[in-house]
Amino acid sequence: MSALAIDIGGTFTDIVLYDDATGRFAAHKELTTPSDPARGVVAGIAHLFAAENTDAAQVDRVVHATTLFTNALIERRGAVTGLLTTQGFRDTLEIGHERKYELYDLHLPLPQPLVRRALRQEALERLAPDGTVEIPLDAASVLAAADALVAQGVESLAICFLHAYANPAHEREAARLIAQRHPGLILSLSCDVSPQIREFDRSSTTVANAYVKPLAEKYLNRLSGDLAGIGIAAPLFMMLSNGGLTHVDEAKRVPVQLLESGPAAGALSAAFFGARSGKRDLLAFDLGGTTAKLALVHGGEPLVVHKFEAGRERRFTAGSGLPLNISTIELIEIGAGGGSIAAHDALGLLKVGPRSASSVPGPACYGRGGTEPTVTDGNLLLGYLDAETFAGGTMKLSTEAAETAVGGLAAQAGLDVPRTAAGIHAVVNETMAAAARVHVAEQGHDPRDFALLVTGGGGPLHGCELARRLGISQVICPPGAGVASALGLLLAPARVDRVATVTRRLDGLDWAALDAEYAELEAQARAVIGATLGAGAALSIRRAADLRFVGQGYELITELPAGPYGPGTEAGIREAFQAGYERVFSRRPAVAAIEIINIRVSVTGSTAEGTLDPEVPVAAEGQAATGARQARFGDSPFSAPVLDRRRLAAGSEVIGPAIIEEAMSTLLIPPGARAMVEAGGNIVIHLPETR
């Protein structure tokens, strides 16, 4: 039997077919069809089936990731959405955090709420922080609000009452009343979508869910139908932002969990290939045309965080988007890629990005009308790229156009062209290194303890230099770095995360009650996994809690032991929190009470068929060395041998400088570095120690 992975991106839809029996996988890139994404998927599958001489009957599993919902948020193409709040708080969504994300810009564009004020209504009701009812829900006010919103064309409604995390009764009752009166209205409740304290973030998350929910229902119904139409009877699983899978109905219920499904697959894939080289602590680095992405893999698992920002006003500026409480693979996006434009700023310094030539017109060397010098132009002039075989030979690069573009910049700086090209390369690497350093420090780690795993068209080209700047001594380049990401979809376990706010102190806690609350979350999560995988799945259940010292404003997520809990549990939890606190913050207050804000469970389940063990083809016949190129490293020119990766046998060693080419990417081995081709398919590069 086979598994099918479908990853819809902005430009391409990647489809991977994996044969469970042989471990072989085949990949195909189909242009994305934005007006009707299912059409591209079906066309791509048909193409792959024909090429691989197989059919729908052989498929027993389909896993899907998509950027459609993220893009709907960015482009504001969601449903007409309304919001119902507690009386006195209809403006919470608009007032937000009251903070600017950039201090000196007087004319800063701020993210506008997804629901304008006219579509925000209030209901008469009030809960206390512990969930006690202070003002009972007034049915007439709920129905009047709903009627008014429906009259204004609202298709999807978010309900977010104060303290609903402590007691969902009012939200549920309001939903019941509204569903009776307006059965066609699609509802999202904050107690379901994000039952966590802090009303703005909870509202923002619930509203974003409501905004994409009609779209998700329509699209997923359509895709399920189309797959059935071509004879695929296997269930469709959806990739979540946290790197887990779920079934289609859960995806339709809370689609906001799917926003980052594509990058999550990439991080899973990095963890998988890193493990093949025995590395469990990795910095996964993907460099594409306009952005670079960095994700941390710690102890063999991608780091999962519980905050996300969607639809940023300024793509690379934190704080410029809508905050969402979703669990997602932790990653940063940096405005640096192959198309990033190099220019002198007002101070006469060489800057690279975040402005990008993108794919249209593209770098100057593409010869498609681009005239500004880009990172790719620099790489071509440095001898790193082959003008004839770039992107698998689909495109010829113009060295002349690159020289003209970079030459203009060189003249302004009073440098020669090679020195300027080297400067572009160095500056873009330093830009990425600077972002990586701060990011890794924020996670409480030291980058030198990690290996760098490189994917994407540009990752293998810039990886060694980025690693050197970070003090990282080992770089791993997986086989087929270009499709490595879609393969990650097939590696995912089914996963459900659940959270609830409890807010109480550890001393004097009713442990049996807390254990019951965990058990309730676990039961919810198990039900979803059961519906995804069937009854026989092996489950792994993890508990965690957001803890802090009493009086603090932010919490540290701490892993907790499994239940059941009793009075003896406290010491262990206290110890685990304090140890974690010391690891991250290096010291802790001498005497302080601890409180628990949120409890979290994460349930993962896998079946025997879920294990993936891709085969790497035996090295092709023939000489690996195909020639040599003049390439410049730093200030020195070298003659670097060019090698064909398909012909490098396991166990081969390559001493830098060298250039290793494969279909969609080029791996650069700098002078002094030593690369090993491993039996598992990875190339592992050891850099000279810089520690």
Partner 1 sequence: MTIKFDPVTLELLWTRLVSIVDEAAAALLRTSFSVIVRESHDFACVLTDARGHSLVQATDGVPSFLCTVPRTIGHFLAEFPPETLREGDILITNDIWLGTGHLPDITVAKPIFLNGKLLAFAGSVAHAPDIGGRIRTAESREVYEEGLQIPIMKVVREGTIDDTFVRFLRKNTRVPDQVMGDLYAQFTALDLMERRLRALLGEHGLEDLVALADEIHGRSEAATRKAIRAVPDGIYHADVVTDGLEQPIRLKLALHKQGDSIMADYAGTDPQVPRGINVCLAYTLAYTAFAVKAALCPEVPNNEGAFRPITVSAPVGCILNSTPPFAGANRALTGHFIPPMILQALADAIPDKVIAGVGSPLWSLNFAGVRADGSPIANQFFMNGGYGAGAAHDGANVLSWPSNVSAAPVEMIEQGAPFRIRHRRLRVDTGGTGEHRGGTGQEWAFESRNPTPVAITFMAERTRQEAAAPGLAGGGAGTPGAVLIDGTVVDPKRQHILNPGSTVELRTPGGGGYGDPAQRDAALAAQDIEDGLVTETKL
Q: In whole angstroms, how far apart are CA 326 and each of 17, 56, 113, 241?
A: 30, 34, 18, 8
Nearer to partner 1, 106 or 608 (CB): 106
Count interface residues toward partner 1 (CB under 8 A): 73
**167 near partner 1, rule: CB under 8 A:** no
Stretch that binds partner 1, among 47-55, 241-249, 490-498, 588-596 (CB under 8 A): 588-596
CA proximity to 583, closest of 563, 559, 608: 559
**438 near partner 1, rule: CB under 8 A:** yes
- Helices vs strands, H then E, count in the chain: 16, 35
Q: Count other C-beta atoms under 10 Å from residue 301's C-beta.
A: 14
| CA dihedral of residues 119, 125, 127, 132 (deg, nearest 10) | -150
Residues 6+ apart with CB under 8 A from 133: 125, 126, 127, 167, 169, 170
Least distance to partner 1, CB of residue 442, Å: 5
Nearer to partner 1, 425 or 498 (CB): 425
Identified binder of partner 1 from the candidate list 535, 591, 608, 618, rule CB under 8 A: 591
Q: Count other C-beta atoms under 10 Å from residue 644's C-beta.
A: 18
Identified binder of partner 1 from the candidate list 19, 52, 60, 94, rule CB under 8 A: 94
Stretch that binds partner 1, among 278-286, 301-309, 338-346, 523-531 (CB under 8 A): 338-346
Nearer to partner 1, 322 or 533 (CB): 322
**584 near partner 1, rule: CB under 8 A:** yes
> 127-146: which residues touch partner 1 (CB under 8 A)?
128-129, 134
The pairing of strands 133-135 and 156-160 is unpaired
Identified binder of partner 1 from the candidate list 437, 629, 647, 674, rule CB under 8 A: 437
Q: What share of the chain is helix, strand, coil (3-state, %, to 5)?
A: 35, 30, 35
Identified binder of partner 1 from the candidate list 76, 77, 100, 505, rule CB under 8 A: 100
**689 near partner 1, rule: CB under 8 A:** no
**442 near partner 1, rule: CB under 8 A:** yes
CA angle 205, 112, 36 (to 5 degrees): 70
Q: Measure the CA–CA gap between 617 and 349, rounded to whole angstroms.
A: 47
**447 near partner 1, rule: CB under 8 A:** no
Identified binder of partner 1 from the candidate list 153, 561, 589, 634, rule CB under 8 A: 589
Which DSSP string do the residues of 53-122 spell out, in sequence order? T--GGGEEEEEEEESHHHHHHHTT-S--EEEEEETT-TTHHHHTT---SSSS-TT---PPPSS-GGGEEE
> 342-361: which residues touch partner 1 (CB under 8 A)?
344-351
CB 282 within 8 A of CB 451: yes
x-marked contacts with partner 1 along 13-32 as a string, rule CB under 8 A: --------------------
**Which DSSP state fits 551?**
T
Q: Measure the CA–CA gap between 294 and 530, rounded to whole angstroms.
A: 33
Radius of gyration of the chain (CA): 26
Identified binder of partner 1 from the candidate list 444, 534, 567, 627, rule CB under 8 A: 444
**246 near partner 1, rule: CB under 8 A:** no
Nearer to partner 1, 21 or 106 (CB): 106
The pairing of strands 331-334 and 292-298 is antiparallel
Nearer to partner 1, 435 or 660 (CB): 435
Nearer to partner 1, 427 or 624 (CB): 427
> 109-128: which residues touch partner 1 (CB under 8 A)?
109-110, 116-118, 128
Least distance to partner 1, CB of residue 426, Å: 6
Nearer to partner 1, 299 or 587 (CB): 587
Residues 6+ apart with CB under 8 A from 448: 470, 471, 472, 473, 691
Stretch that binds partner 1, among 180-188, 274-282, 283-291, 341-349 (CB under 8 A): 341-349
Least distance to partner 1, CB of residue 615, Å: 42
> 470-509: which residues touch partner 1 (CB under 8 A)?
503
Identified binder of partner 1 from the candidate list 95, 233, 516, 527, rule CB under 8 A: 95
**91 near partner 1, rule: CB under 8 A:** yes
**197 near partner 1, rule: CB under 8 A:** yes
**511 near partner 1, rule: CB under 8 A:** no
Nearer to partner 1, 29 or 439 (CB): 439
x-marked contacts with partner 1 along 412-431 as a string, rule CB under 8 A: -xxx---xx-xx--xx--xx
Q: Count other C-beta atoms under 10 Å from residue 622's C-beta.
A: 10
Phi, psi of 626 (to 5 degrees): -110, -5
Least distance to partner 1, CB of residue 64, Å: 36
Nearer to partner 1, 95 or 360 (CB): 95
**446 near partner 1, rule: CB under 8 A:** no
Least distance to partner 1, CB of residue 303, Å: 15
Least distance to partner 1, CB of residue 108, Å: 8
Strand locations in 577-690, DSSP E?
594-606, 625-633, 636-644, 653-655, 658-662, 665-669, 674-677, 683-686
Q: Measure the CA–CA gap between 408 and 414, rounded to whole angstroms.
A: 10
Stretch that binds partner 1, among 99-107, 217-225, 525-533, 653-661 (CB under 8 A): 99-107
Identified binder of partner 1 from the candidate list 58, 87, 141, 404, rule CB under 8 A: 87
> 67-86: which residues touch partner 1 (CB under 8 A)?
none
Q: Measure the CA–CA gap between 581 and 552, rounded to whole angstroms.
A: 13
Identified binder of partner 1 from the candidate list 21, 75, 107, 151, rule CB under 8 A: 107
CB 242 within 8 A of CB 251: no
CB 453 within 8 A of CB 476: yes
Nearer to partner 1, 444 or 561 (CB): 444
Q: Measure the CA–CA gap between 618 and 497, rounded to whole angstroms.
A: 40
CB 141 within 8 A of CB 124: yes
Q: Measure the CA–CA gap between 674 and 677, rounded to whole angstroms.
A: 10
In our burial notation (b when 16+ CB lie closer than 10 A, e otherwise), range 482-493 reads bbbbbbbbbbbb
The pairing of strands 451-455 and 474-477 is parallel
Residues 6+ apart with CB under 8 A from 565: 511, 512, 514, 515, 518
> 539-578: which residues touch partner 1 (CB under 8 A)?
549, 551-554
**57 near partner 1, rule: CB under 8 A:** no
> 305-324: which residues touch partner 1 (CB under 8 A)?
none
Nearer to partner 1, 87 or 224 (CB): 87
> 200-219: which residues touch partner 1 (CB under 8 A)?
200-201
Nearer to partner 1, 343 or 612 (CB): 343
User: Amino acid identity of 168?
Assistant: P
Nearer to partner 1, 116 or 181 (CB): 116
**103 near partner 1, rule: CB under 8 A:** yes
Nearer to partner 1, 12 or 200 (CB): 200
Nearer to partner 1, 85 or 485 (CB): 85
Q: Count other C-beta atoms under 10 Å from residue 624's C-beta.
A: 19
Phi, psi of 391 (to 5 degrees): 50, 50
Nearer to partner 1, 10 or 88 (CB): 88
